[in-house]
Amino acid sequence: MATTGTADVRPVDVGALFRDELREQLVQRRQCLQQALSRGQAVSAVRLLEQVDQALTRLDAGSLGICELCHTPVETDRLIADPLVRFCIDHLPQEKQRALEADLELAARLQSRLLPPKDFHFAGWRVAYHYQPAGIVSGDYCDLATTAEGALYFALADVSGKGVAASLLMSNLSAMFRTLAPLGIPVAELMSHANRVFCESTLPTQYATVVVGKAMPDGVVEFANAGHLEPLIVGSNSVTRIPSTGLPIGLFRDEPVKSATMRMEREEVLVLYSDGITETSSAADEEYGAERLARIVAHCRAQSPDEHVARCIADLAAFRGHGPQADDETLMVLQRADS
């Protein structure tokens, strides 16, 4: 183990799963820069070519991804997005910190525009949700879409990682969902398409847990759950959990996706949530959990979805106390009601 006078410097294992991806990124950039040089674009190309060669050297030495000032690992999502990074966020030059802050603010504005209406009514269904990033941007995703035939599609997902990289993947999910859902295709087919796109366009370390559903006016709901937390159907005297029907998307390209179908009765409530809700910790280091969430929903079952959401989030805040929000929080409540 090599040491300096101020800190341990250990080779960074950037992970066998995406080390080759980083090398491929760098080699591809090198080829593009060499082509630029051949066309006479010399000034910037020469400088960038030197940076790429230096990054390849650091990758071979096992030090790619180490901050050159504090000798700690840089943020993984930033390294994946740009293998040339040399400093962690805390030690970026001021001009780069300002640029990063501007990028994050723009990403947050764009992300907020992708969210569905807060109080949603369609074909005998009422929907409300809570969406609160832990930082400026979120890796959580929730959405709604309708068809001319009266089907309501809903989705809730949690993308691996945090920051801009996760929010970009969330945007990809949104584009796929809003393109495919209005076509009225089965939810298993929709999920299979999303899985193939994720596998082909992301790094091996990136994946998402996703629940997609299709609710019909007669109360029939089709679910496809790719490794996400179990949705809850809360009735007058029961809580039904909807188990996962497949693996998270982005892991295996040809993994089959299955769906399950059930009928919801009037006034029954469907609850979808991310782990930022159920894994919230109290001051006593207890976990909020799905059981407590179901109890709160059951206590206000006759109320509207927006009232359900408000009660749940108020209870979650009281449970957390003065502790910080540690993860993105997303909660969606759907209720079958009179048209």
Domains and CATH numbers, the chain: 2-92 (1.20.120.910), 116-336 (3.60.40.10)
The 8-class DSSP code of residue 124 comes to T
Q: Considering only 26-35, 73-82, 242-251, 303-312, which range has the smallest mean pLDDT? A: 73-82
The 8-class DSSP code of residue 288 comes to -
Mean pLDDT of 179-200: 89
pLDDT above 90 for 224: yes
Largest alpha-carbon pair distance within the chain? 75
Task: Give helix then strand counts, H and E, for the chain.
Answer: 9, 13
CA angle 154, 236, 270 (to 5 degrees): 10
Q: Considering only 13-22, 249-258, 280-289, which range has the smallest mean pLDDT? A: 13-22
Q: Please state, rounded to an integer, the average pLDDT across all residues of the chain.
A: 83
Nearest to 142 by CA among 99, 178, 191, 188: 178
Residue 109: pLDDT band (50, 70, 90) is: confident
Nearest to 199 by CA among 154, 158, 169: 169
pLDDT above 70 for 218: yes
Mean pLDDT of 62-66: 85
pTM: 0.74
pLDDT above 50 for 215: yes
Residue 41: pLDDT band (50, 70, 90) is: low
pLDDT above 60 for 40: yes
Q: Tokens for 163?
A: 């920051």
